[in-house]
Amino acid sequence: MKSLTGKITLVTGASRGVGKGIALGLGEAGATVYVTGRTVEEGKAAVSLPGTIYQTAEEITKLGGKGIAVRCDHLEDEEVRELFQRIQTEQNRLDILVNNVWGGYEFFNDGTEFWKEKGFWTAPISRWDKAFQSGVRAHYVASVLAAPIMITQQSGLIVNISFFAAQRDDKGVSYAAAKAADDRMAIAMAHELREHHVAVVSIYPGLVRTESVMKSAEFFDLSNSESPQFIGRAITALATDPNVMQKSGQILVAAAVAKEYGFTDIDGKQPRPITVNEV
């Protein structure tokens, strides 16, 4: 992988899961990585899973980057503004923003039952609100605050972490609509930022071996799965591509990016790019 030494990056929602993996993928390339989240003490997360922003930052530094943990609730605009003001003050630039933070996963249960309701009319209205406020809106607000910094420097990469649910009819109405909104937001932002040499893309992971997935590993076929860090390597490859603007406005699949740029997962395997019909 090419180096991100000297590059300033921000990954939202990085206490665990895909966000943590992305942060580690950027860190192993030498980047300075700001990581946000609400979990600052082990065992006191909103979900029964391990991980804190401080643990993520420490692991980034051990991999050769520089991890900086910032407690931030992305539902609170003032906290997000303070985050970007801090980055501007401390670094005077921002090269990569990864919009990963998300909410509304209450319909996933521990164990074998993953869909709690059958039909959107049986789900609480809050499901929609959480997906759009903690997810789509949070991505929009972070992008609004990142754009002026990147425009000033006439460079940058904004990545929305999305998923194939955006193109499926059977993945839950609120989840599918929110992910589709993330994709369209990336496309429209790319159009407006193109003249400023700022690239915007959506990236789809495959089946990722997050803490949540591994907790119920017996119910998954992990033969073509990806480590969370794999998606970080995909973003690193894009960020170090001098022709990344050619991909701006596209919806990309992490495993396809890996094949194009010639990198593997942390275990040396080459995950096969899946299609929308395989999800």
| Residue 54 annotated among the catalytic residues of the structure | no
- Residue 112 in this model has a pLDDT that exceeds 60: no
Return the residue matching tokens 């275990």: 267
Under CATH, domain 8-278 is a member of which superfamily? Answer: NAD(P)-binding Rossmann-like Domain (3.40.50.720)
* Active-site option among 54, 175, 204, 261: 175
Of 191, 255, 181, the closest CA to residue 225 belongs to: 255
Three-class secondary structure of residue 28 per DSSP: coil
Kindly state the greatest CA–CA separation across the chain. 49
Question: Rounded to whole angstroms, how far apart are CA atoms 259 and 98?
Answer: 21
Percent of the chain with pLDDT over 70: 92
Residues 264-277: tens digit of each pLDDT: 999 999 999 998 98
Residues 7-17: tens digit of each pLDDT: 999 999 999 99
Domain edges within the chain: 8-278
- Residue 115 in this model has a pLDDT that exceeds 60: no
Question: Rounded to whole angstroms, how far apart are CA atoms 213 and 204?
Answer: 16
